[in-house]
Amino acid sequence: MESVVIQGVELHLSPADVLEWEWVGRPELLRQLLAAWMILGEGDYPLSPRLVGKPGVGKTTLAAAAARALGRPIYVLQATMDTRPEDLLVTPVIADGQRLRYVASPLVSAMIRGGVCILDEGNRMSEKSWASLAPLLDRRRYVESVVAGVKIQAHPEFRICATMNEDASTFDLPEYIHSRLQPQLLIDFPEQDEELAILRQNLPFARGPVLQYLAAFLQRAHAEDEPYTVRDGINIARYALKLAASAGEAIEGEAIHPHLRRATLQVLGDEALPYLPGEAAINHFDLDE
CA distance linking residue 274 with residue 283, whole number of Å: 8
The reply to whether 49 and 153 lie within a common domain is: yes
Omega of the bond leading into 156 within 30 degrees of 0 (cis): no
Give the number of domains in the chain: 2
Omega of the bond leading into 183 within 30 degrees of 0 (cis): yes
pLDDT tens digit sequence for 45-69? 999 999 999 888 899 999 999 999 9
What is the rounded end-to-end Cα distance, in angstroms, of the chain?
A: 53
pLDDT at 248: 87
SS3 of residue 103 by DSSP: strand
pLDDT at 166: 77
**252, pLDDT greater than 80:** no
pLDDT tens digit sequence for 68-91? 999 999 999 999 999 999 999 999
The reply to whether 199 and 217 lie within a common domain is: yes
Q: Which helix (H) or strand (E) holds 152?
A: strand 150-153
CA distance linking residue 217 with residue 111, whole number of Å: 42
- How many helices and strands in the chain, by DSSP H and E? 10, 11
What is the model's pTM? 0.87
Whether 14 contacts 104, CB under 8 Å: yes
Range of the domain at 171: 3-186
CA atoms within 13 A of residue 247's CA, in its CB half-sphere: 13
CATH code of the domain in which 9 resides:
3.40.50.300
The reply to whether 166 and 197 lie within a common domain is: no
pLDDT tens digit sequence for 122-161? 989 989 999 999 999 999 999 999 999 999 999 999 999 9
